[in-house]
Structure 1
């Protein structure tokens, strides 16, 4: 029961982000001269960083080939401008300074090494988390180990340190955290553990290892060093036997599935309580009247829709791509399109096989998917985080917990790293990808899968095995915020050139007959466009399917973000990232 965590939630609820709701007043400001006296002071200070962990949201894949938003992304059309301010660019250092403030003062506290270092580990974890975000965004950035004052002009006006140097510091911080954080089951629920830090370290190493490989970067650590470390750290987590892939319960989600259409995958993401869930490495905990969010209200109705390209990535239920399977029924209507496909498809997209609401024990579905631009601009509403309980859709009333770190990601990291190292055996697949497929009764992946006859174009050739591992990652982690990072680390911007990343549902006579008159085409209906002899919903009326801005060059500037012009003017030792002028 989540009520046992009430005191922990109260301990940091006052400093939560604005998208969460609480009636607890903020903690008093830290007074440096009197603060550092007890271990509890360290714990209280560390609490403030927990808002930096992943939090509930439905827009995490909005800038990607998975989703299409109501208003087009300037980034994806290469229309971004260089921000002038640090806050506008994300070139902010408040969190790093707060971490270093702690790390330069905690030694004043009296206590045992093990008592003190658990909170040092937490703060170093959060410093690593912040710096990882910075090197993904900017590449080289300055490294700081002290809380800078205005008099520290030499460090304030220093040049950027290399990405490799920062990466080494990130790994050091995370390895310290792994050494001192509590073991599984020994931490206060919702606080960091060794396995949470291991998951973050494996994520960092996979990201940077593949970034180096596909961007042809040298230096130490090497791409292979990082991929090896990613696999090794993920394997440590797997070997603990503390986690497993869980079939989300109907009771925990308030769901009542239709016969023959189990909801084991999507139920996991609206479970009221994740504390004892074996797939959850670290939960973010919510409770009515204390701490809530709005994801249950926003899911499937925020304007964002899944892309046609993403929908076509789902295999058929015989394990074959739609271009190879006799089970594929075509796309003349959404109910036909999801038939005989990977069951995660009918659990992610709103359709008549998944109850949209359960009221008084009765299942309710929508008569057709919402194609309004304010709801789902593509006609493919993503309802992965949609609870069937009406109360969860009320304003500021969503209380189901959130995965900060999920075991499924660990398995995907291990499979991809082993494949990149040339070490992916059938045993590896059975321990990883096939665990995910077993949850939804999909056929197992083998080491020699059939090549997709209509593959998405990464801009280079990869093996059918790696292709399928990437496909599995794309589907399993949809809208959890990984996709754009994946595209960038794989140097796969060419994916955005696929016109189907800009298209919604196919609009056929069958589709038109289901919706009210005037919904599609004409002066007031949703815009349509022809592509390869078929008619599709057109999200962006003013954009063609061959927009120059959707094309990515081999050295495209968008693989890194620009530094703010104001900071470059202030610090002549800072230089702009390539291509941004």
Structure 2
């Protein structure tokens, strides 16, 4: 095995830290991280592939608490980018193109494919060296950070691959046993993940900070991890995984502790603005947001959400019709119980709905932040016509890559949903549990809360036709919790994981749809007496409204006879129930380590 680089992670970390120190009196640690990440990405290779020479002794660096702090700052690199939060598709947000996961065309990669271990090596290197001079009681908070991110790292591996080799130390050159280690069972890895996150909860500080992990962040992560694992084990009986109740109990307990003891409350202004303002704000609200990804115009750290939603350059994202149908009426009744809901035109269908609908897409009366005119949906920027506005900030940020609003990674809203779902899936939920959690989200937007008894007496048939695995005494409630989760967390990139853990991959094969139009002609989106869009055939009409040529700019289910907008109608989507809930192990990794087994249904010929 060759030395690929003379400079090992210690030297890389040292230079990363120097970059941090030189970042002119930053208010956040992200510029330093950026410098560090750029250098670390050049220095690090997969730790299974090499063992570097040691140029800097650990004794020369891990000497003070400040050293531990600076080193653990580099772990934040794994937080999702802005695009990793808002750039959701799946069956929530429809785009011009479809990912391989949605099309069912994933193949086994030669290398990469998420089977990367460099971040784990950094963490395990810290764990091996943090206690050289710093007393244990002083080091514990930094160990808590390390173990938080190791739990995060392995959770991502488990939800992607299932079984994974568990490494709690840096692999030394020549350690053939470790280099050829088979995948550890999912049950073993998950128990180790839970031990790591429990240590983090016990040893991280309790002070609020949207930029640094703390006890509350660890509780939020635990609730997310345990809910995923508990529901995955419950619904994926084909894997014969035990103890789903234990994980759901842990999820409810972690979320319950954060709700009862944490310093967080939901952001609240007025019902018709709270939800939109939470995500459009430049700086994350520290009352609801537990951990965020910082962006800043002053520090020249930007993202692209405004441009993404108003141009045709990024897939023209739009909410899918089935999701729009799922929003309740403002009085709590079901939209899909209304006679003729399937053929309602845009203006009519968005009247008197859950206020989050008009705070997620453009609806009549919508005005841009920083703008004066009312704006109607633009098909040039939205495949379905349901043009998204969540995360969209002031018009001054409309240029390419100039948005600076923070991106929440953990927020109280998710934790409330985790608590309600875990209790519902366990079957021990009470009305008080709902009032403590999910009904607070309804209350924020002026919606009536879920009534436990009423939900279970009359489960929603529209939702039941989607979520085929849901049965039992709490069927109605579980469906309502899933409705609430989908609506509250849309564009926050939870949907793929939700469908995978619920074993509802079949929903990805449904025809994606948009607005309903009865046929050719002109349509008034805001009921002001003026046409906003015209669907035509033949020669393009003249005028200043939106003109959509049928079959070219837009497709309808029944052509000239109308129907819902259909998106990617010529693509035959597939989902293999026996294979696609897990990703494949890359071929090269299995060639290097013949003890790595492949996931079911993925035939690589090895």
Shorter chain as denominator, the TM-score bin is 0.7 to 0.9
Q: 1:46-125, aligned counterparts within 5 Å?
A: 46-57=72-83, 60=86, 62-85=88-111, 87=112, 89-108=113-132, 110-125=133-148
Q: Where does structure 2 lack aligned partners over 5 or more consecutive residues?
A: 1-23, 40-53, 525-530, 541-546
Cα distance in 2, alignment partners of residues 420 and 286 from structure 1: 37
Cα distance in 2, alignment partners of residues 232 and 179 from structure 1: 14
Q: CA deviation at 1:285?
A: 2.7
Secondary structure of 1:528's aligned partner: coil
Q: 1:475-554, aligned counterparts within 5 Å?
A: 475-499=487-511, 502-508=512-518, 509-511=521-523, 513-516=531-534, 518=540, 519-522=547-550, 524-530=552-558, 535-543=563-571, 547=572, 549-553=573-577
Cα distance in 1, alignment partners of residues 79 and 269 from structure 2: 23
Cα distance in 2, alignment partners of residues 478 and 30 from structure 1: 47
Match of 2:383 among 371, 377, 397: 377
Partner residue, 1:257:
none
Q: CA deviation at 1:469?
A: 0.7
Q: CA deviation at 1:30?
A: 8.8
Cα distance in 2, alignment partners of residues 431 and 442 from structure 1: 15
Q: CA deviation at 1:503?
A: 1.3
Match of 2:153 among 130, 135, 138: 130
Partner residue, 1:273:
283
Cα distance in 1, alignment partners of residues 189 and 138 from structure 2: 28
Cα distance in 2, alignment partners of residues 332 and 424 from structure 1: 36
| Deviation readout 1:269-310 (Å, 9 max, x if unpaired) | 1222226x3111223333322152224433423322211111
Q: CA deviation at 1:167?
A: 0.5
Cα distance in 2, alignment partners of residues 338 and 300 from structure 1: 20
Cα distance in 2, alignment partners of residues 299 and 527 from structure 1: 22
Counterpart contact for 2:296–2:302, Cα < 8 Å: no
Matched, 1:570 2:592: yes
Cα distance in 2, alignment partners of residues 475 and 159 from structure 1: 40
Partner residue, 1:418:
423
Q: Which stretch shifts more, 127-136 or 397-406?
A: 397-406
Matched, 1:298 2:311: no
Match of 1:309 among 309, 322, 328: 322
Q: Normalising by structure 2, what TM-score?
A: 0.82
Specify whether residues 149 and 381 from structure 1 end up closer, same or farther in structure 2 by C-alpha distance, changes over 3 A only. farther
Counterpart contact for 2:470–2:478, Cα < 8 Å: no
| Deviation readout 1:161-180 (Å, 9 max, x if unpaired) | 01111111111111111111
Larger Rg: 2
Specify whether residues 7 and 381 from structure 1 end up closer, same or farther in structure 2 by C-alpha distance, changes over 3 A only. closer
Cα distance in 1, alignment partners of residues 68 and 373 from structure 2: 50
Specify whether residues 183 and 523 from structure 1 end up closer, same or farther in structure 2 by C-alpha distance, changes over 3 A only. closer
Specify whether residues 321 and 31 from structure 1 end up closer, same or farther in structure 2 by C-alpha distance, changes over 3 A only. farther
Partner residue, 2:579:
557
Cα distance in 2, alignment partners of residues 400 and 315 from structure 1: 29
Counterpart contact for 2:550–2:556, Cα < 8 Å: no
Partner residue, 1:195:
216
Specify whether residues 212 and 453 from structure 1 end up closer, same or farther in structure 2 by C-alpha distance, changes over 3 A only. closer
Partner residue, 2:7:
none
Match of 2:297 among 288, 294, 299: 288
Counterpart contact for 2:344–2:516, Cα < 8 Å: yes
Cα distance in 2, alignment partners of residues 457 and 7 from structure 1: 44
Specify whether residues 426 and 36 from structure 1 end up closer, same or farther in structure 2 by C-alpha distance, changes over 3 A only. same
Cα distance in 1, alignment partners of residues 103 and 461 from structure 2: 28
Q: Which stretch shifts more, 307-316 or 349-358?
A: 349-358
Higher relative contact order (CA 8 A, sep 6+): 1
Q: Normalising by structure 1, what TM-score?
A: 0.86
Q: CA deviation at 1:332?
A: 4.0
| Deviation readout 1:73-130 (Å, 9 max, x if unpaired) | 2222221111111x2x11001111111111111121x233232111111111111101
Cα distance in 2, alignment partners of residues 58 and 149 from structure 1: 33
Q: 1:211-290, aligned counterparts within 5 Å?
A: 211-216=232-237, 222-240=243-261, 242-247=263-268, 262-274=272-284, 277-290=286-299
Q: CA deviation at 1:567?
A: 1.1
Specify whether residues 17 and 322 from structure 1 end up closer, same or farther in structure 2 by C-alpha distance, changes over 3 A only. farther
Counterpart contact for 1:269–1:384, Cα < 8 Å: yes
Cα distance in 1, alignment partners of residues 86 and 406 from structure 2: 17
Across the aligned residues of Structure 1 and Structure 2, the Cα RMSD in angstroms comes to 2.7
Cα distance in 2, alignment partners of residues 523 and 171 from structure 1: 53
Cα distance in 2, alignment partners of residues 9 and 570 from structure 1: 36
Cα distance in 2, alignment partners of residues 524 and 68 from structure 1: 18
Counterpart contact for 2:290–2:412, Cα < 8 Å: yes
Partner residue, 2:333:
320
Specify whether residues 138 and 284 from structure 1 end up closer, same or farther in structure 2 by C-alpha distance, changes over 3 A only. same
Specify whether residues 225 and 475 from structure 1 end up closer, same or farther in structure 2 by C-alpha distance, changes over 3 A only. same
